[in-house]
Structures are given as C-alpha cells and as structure tokens.
Amino acid sequence: MTRPATPDPVLRELMARAGSAGLSRRTFLGLLGAAGSAAALAACGTGGSTSTSSSAATGTGGKAGTIRWANWTLYIDLAKDGTTSPTLQAFEKSSGLKVDYREDVEDNDTFYGKVKGQLANGQDIGYDLVTLTDWMAARWIRQGYTATLDRAAMPNTQNILANLANVDYDPGRTHSLTWQSGFGGIAWAKDQVPAGLGTVSDLWKPELKGRVEVLSEMRDTIGLIMFDQGVDPASASWGDTEFENALDVLKAQIANGQIRSVKGNSYKEDLVSGDAVAVIGWSGDIQQLNLENDNKFTFAIPEAGGTLWSDNVMVPSTSGQVTDVQKLIDYYYDPEVAATVAAYVNYITPVQGAQAAMEKVDPSLVDNQLIFPSESTLSKVAMFRTLTTDEEEKYNSQFLDAIGA
C-alpha cells in the first residue's frame, strides 16, 4: 500500500540532524545460539481468553492534543543525548500533537498493580497508550479495559505481519497492535565470564554466586528453566508438575544466594555497574547496552531453547484521546518509521516493508536476525503457551510468592 508522504521528509530531516550529532544506530552483533518452534511467531497470541469485549472509545482522562504513552525502557529510537526521539519529534512536527513519552513499564505485573483499581472504577490512569506483553494485553482486553480501535482510521496498520494480524486474545486486532517482538535468553559480561554460557544451568555455576539476575517476567524466567529441564513451554502437554519443577529450581537458586535479584527492566543497570555479570534477559536490551559499553556483553539463546514474545500498544478505556492515539499508532506502522525504531531497539519489527526500508535507514541491519529473523532462527524459539484463566492466576501467584513480590 502507499505510505502517507507527510512523515517521511520530516523524519529524514530530524534523522539527518541527529545523525550529524552521533545518533545511536544498532549494529548487528550476531545471534549466538537458539532452540523451539518455527510456528512460534505465527502463534504470537499467547495468554488470556478469546473474549473481545469492547470498551467505550471515549473517556475523561488527559489533555486534548497530548498523548501520554507508557512504554518500557530502551524501547524507542533515541538521539545521542539519550532523551529525544527523532521519530517522536517528527510525529509531533507533522501532526501538531504532543507526546508525553514515559518509560514507566518496569514489568507487566507491577504496572498492572498500579492502575487496576482506577481501571476498574473507570478513572483516568494517566496514560492514553500503554505497551504490554501478550498475556497482559489479553487480560486487559478480557476485563474490558481497552478502547476499540478504528482500523480504517489507521491505514498503515494493514502493514502488520500476517502472523501477527489475528491473535487468539484479540481476533482482527480491534483492541491491540504489536509494538515489537523479541527473544528471551541468557547474557553475560565477557570480561567476567570469559568461557561464556551455553545453558540456563550454567547460570548456577559456583563462581557466579551472588552475581546472577533473572527476569520478573514469569514466562521468560520459568520458560527458560522449563526448556533447560527438557520441557517445551509452548506444548499443551505440561501442567502443574512441570511448572512446579521449574519453580523449585528458581526458589533454590534464590534461597542459596546464587540469584542476586529478580528484576524487570532494571537488570540492565546492574549489568553495566558490574553488580550482575550473568542474567536471563532480553535480546534487544543487550544489543543496545553493547553500543554504549564497548560491546561488553554477549546475548545467546540457550542450547535447549529460548522464548519468543510480543509487546502490544493499547488505548486504555479511560483515555479520552483515542482519535489522536490512532494517528500515532498509524505513524509507527509506516515502514520507514518502523525501520528507524528497529535500527535502534534491535527487536523484531511487526511491520511489512520495514526490511526494505532498512536499506535507507541502515543497510548493515537488513539481514539482522534480531530484527528480521529467518525461518531457521524462529525454529529455535517458542512462545510460552496460552494459559487458562485459572492457570494464570495460580502460576502467577506461585511465581510472585517465589520471588518475594
């Protein structure tokens, strides 16, 4: 389809300015190992019910002309100053809208805990756009906490990859759209772990005691441990026994001091400071850290298998800015804009045409497996399977108890 011309010249102008000032662009550092199911990305709808309950597309929150966006850290393109985004600046200039962009998502559960009371009472939560992982997106949609999107008002969203266009928790994508996808794996500081790591079990080596961190995202940490135990987390054949076996490993490694901390996005700061030298982490995070830290870290998908996930943008039912937010979502589904973001964050872009557009943005990234994974790469990772409502409540509660949350 034809892309709107409006963002392109503005984006190019701002990119040129940022580039002359040293805009960070993510170079390909390689994918060092992998394991799982090629159909994984096609099954990017994980967790939750197939319910598509619609919430009102209007609300009382916010200020007209301003979009308040809650996102994860290191999840949008940034200029050398580390605070301004060329694509956001271009959108504001071309649309006349303002974006109050905040890195306020540390992990899905923590964020949900902060806003669920207001959502339940129909009160403004302080955001007009939120970015949450599949299973949490499913919960919001199931509970009626998301506004219905007018796809006709967002023509660029027709560019969504075919295997992301229709997910089980949001058929037809009327309440959510993919922001980025990525891999969960292991990472380490090269100077502190010179022999490297190949498996999750390698994190439990005595010499790493007290310097290991794992993610507070249950599906990544438990999913990787399950893989390490020979259980495919994407399979429908596992249940309480397999989950509890993986949880027992996590509990033991926390209790004996092997694991220093269980964290959301803030594990990155501990890697940089040296407080942690080996982690269960996310692919794009490590690639981004490498650029600012002289390629100090290595990311790998464990030999037994890695996780695959997607984060999604949604409009809370309490937002009054749906029309404006749809303009922003449509903008980020322009292939050139999507390629610009992907060149920085190094996660899998959901936008068809972004790979071709990458030729102009950064040709060295056109074959980057962290952004445009091949069938071979996707055959080595898997999505954590969809949980029933009862399983989600039970397993999440057990996990939170185990990590002391």
Q: What tens digit of pLDDT does each residue of 15-29 get?
A: 443 333 332 222 222
309-322, pLDDT tens digit by residue? 999 999 999 999 99
pLDDT at 12 over 90: no
Bigger pLDDT: 42 vs 82 = 82
| Winning range, highest mean pLDDT, from 135-139, 226-230, 376-380 | 226-230
- Is pLDDT of 118 > 90? yes
At 370, the pLDDT band (50, 70, 90 cuts) reads confident
- Please state, rounded to an integer, the average pLDDT across all residues of the chain: 85
Do residues 233 and 219 touch, judged by C-beta distance below 8 A?
yes
pLDDT at residue 52 is higher than 80: no
pLDDT value of position 250:
98
Mean pLDDT of 263-291: 93
On the question of pLDDT at 11 being above 80, the answer is no
Which residue is associated with the tokens 């303002």?
A: 98
Over the stretch 125-171, which tens digit does the pLDDT of each residue have? 999 999 999 999 999 999 999 999 999 999 999 999 988 998 889 99
Q: What percent of the chain shows pLDDT beyond 90?
A: 72
pLDDT of residue 337: 98
What is the tens place of the pLDDT at every residue in 58-99? 345 677 899 999 999 889 999 988 889 999 999 999 999 999
pLDDT of residue 303: 95
Query: What pLDDT is attached to residue 60?
Result: 56
Q: From CA 403, how far away is CA 383, in angstroms rounded?
A: 22
- If one compares 291 and 334, the residue with the highest pLDDT of the two is 334
The band of 41, judged by pLDDT with boundaries at 50, 70 and 90, is very low
The 3-class SS string of the chain reads CCCCCCHHHHHHHHHHHHHHCCCCCCCCCCCCCCCCCCCCHHHCCCCCCCCCCCECCCCCECCCCEEEEECCCCCCCCCCCCCCCHHHHHHHHHHCCEEEEECCCCCHHHHHHHHHHHHHCCCCCCCCEEEEEHHHHHHHHHCCCEECCCHHHCHHHHHECHHHCCECCECCCCCCEEEEEEEEEEEEECCCCCCCCCCHHHHHCHHHCCCEEEECCHHHHHHHHHHHCCCCCCCCCCCHHHHHHHHHHHHHHHHCCCEEEEECCCHHHHHHHCCCCEEEEEHHHHHHHHHHCCCCEEEECCCCCEEEEEEEEECECCECCHHHHHHHHHHHCCHHHHHHHHHHHCCECCECCHHHHHHHHCHHHCCCCCCCCCHHHHCCEECCCCCCHHHHHHHHHHHHHHHCC
**Please, what are the domains in the chain?**
7-28+48-181+310-368 (3.40.190.10), 183-307+388-403 (3.40.190.10)
pLDDT over 70 at 46, yes or no: no
Average pLDDT of the residues in 367-375:
87
| CB-based contact 296:189 (threshold 8 Å) | yes
Taking only the tens place, the pLDDT of each residue in 387-398 is: 988 999 999 999
Residue 405: what pLDDT? 73
pLDDT for 181 equals 95
Rounded average pLDDT over 177-186: 96
